Structure 1
Amino acid sequence: MPKQNDMSVGMIVLGIMGSAMSKNLIKAGFSVIGYDVLPRAVDAFVAAGGRAAKSVGEVGSSADILITSLPAASALLDVARELLTLPRADRIVAETSTFTLDDKTKAQEQLGQVDIIMLDCPLSGSGVQALERDVLVYGSGPKEAYDRCLPVFNGFSRAPHYLGVFGNGSKMKYVANLMVAVHTVVAGEAFTLARKAGLDPAQMFAVVSDGAAGSRALDVRGEMLIADTYLPIRTMPLELWRKDMRVIADFANSLACPTPMFSAAVPLFNAAVASGYGDQDTAAVAAVIEAMAGLPPTKHG
């Protein structure tokens, strides 16, 4: 397939979201170079048509626009330090992970020392949605840099949104993820009640999702909740999701903003991890609610 344009795109790292973004960019005709420490992730990326790099530095030297999708803030700061060592060039880093504003600002300031522009661009949507190019980009930072990245954002997302100054993207993501957390617990609670009442879970999902109680969160998790099985992961592992929830809670606390529904949901996600579901999808919170209701233990796989 011919290139979309002369723009090259670098992807750091190739996890659930990074690999999905890469596949859609490659399908759209972009030349994509990617890096990950896991060989299997790199192999899958190459099989999809990507070009493997041996380091973050090689990605930075080969691409005009870099997209980071990272598991921890420490990884973002490590990436920033590696990019600082490269010769100066006209680069943009679109950071799509969910971290604290402090961590993102530290990386932005570091990269600014060598004139690399960093955008704060978290994504709204699950891994499954990312594969289907059904995620949103919450873009924030310099408008000129955002506009330059827009063809790339359109290549892997359903709808990019420009939200203004750096940091507004993360703030919007905190709001969205607060709602996702509550919706996920409510879905688990509703399925538990349906099972306890003797209703067929598949029929309950078909009827409820067609009415006022339907939601995108319910649609994405419906198959797992019907089967009461939370592998393969369709949204995010519970253990990683807890990181996002800590970020949201700290942000709300910094504004003295009450979040009673979200605060009630957090202990249930923690209980799911403590019950052995940490490596499974966030929807496994339903298993904890089922246990509270006295239903038989769910499958761990």
Structure 2
Amino acid sequence: MPRLIAGPPPAAPVDVDALVDHCESAAFDPRDRESLAAAAPMLRALAANRHFLADMAMAELKTRCAGQRRDNPYSAQVMLLRPPRGKYVLRAAFWPSARDHVMRAKGAAAFLYHVPHDHGFDFLTVGYLGPGYWSDYYEHDGTLLGLPGEKAALRHVESSALCEGRVLLYRAHRDIHVQRPPARMSISLNILTSLPDQGWRRQYRFDLENGCVAECMTISSAQMLLELAVETGMAEGIDLARHFARLHPDDAMRLTAWRALAPDAPDAAADHWEEGARNGSALVRAASAKALKLIENGPG
């Protein structure tokens, strides 16, 4: 499960500027999980500041949320504490209860409640306000290819709430949780890693009953554009897909390209997937083996 980072109450609250100063210092490197964990006292001290978030919310409302509309790539569930700096993101996340109007209007799925999922990045979180969402925590060994139906060897660890002052470090592609709505509206504060390859990092939904990957929840815009280029039949797009299928550094893009190039005719498709079974990407090889099995077994 996420690593619990215990510590004494802060000597004094800090403001967002102080947290930003720490994150901009040489002491903080979001690529290093231990460095991220070492920011826990500063995040806990910000959580001890009981007025800063309300003050920020009021300031945004007075400008019709101009800053959030300009800089915030997330949903209305998230309020950025500062515009993204390239290597990390500081944000507040709102967690409505089942009784709140927004939950009745949008439904639980809008907040990923009851959806077993992991994250494609490490992040540090603290309960800021309210009893906090409940999570059933699971973990796996981090060796997944990410193919739907792939066994994940999930292990249940515990169930607990992100209460006020509790600090957790979530590990990318290791920690899985099933969140449940809190008893009343709650807020968490987060430091998220945001690295150059962030757009290629995948997040998965899991099937707990069968102990496997259910689906990849993320897709890059480049994957969608490549599918479009191949679908239009452009020679340049097909050549690019062939190149990506062989040499792209991201396995998901390789698989997107190989799937886009798959012919419709059964015989040609079998040859295509047999070639894919020799691809340099383990994900493409696994997907090709699965496709070949479906062809061999027939539609029934």
| Range of TM-score over shorter length | under 0.3
Higher strand share: 2
Higher helix share: 1
TM-score (norm 1): 0.24
TM-score (norm 2): 0.24
Q: Radius of gyration: which is bigger? A: 2
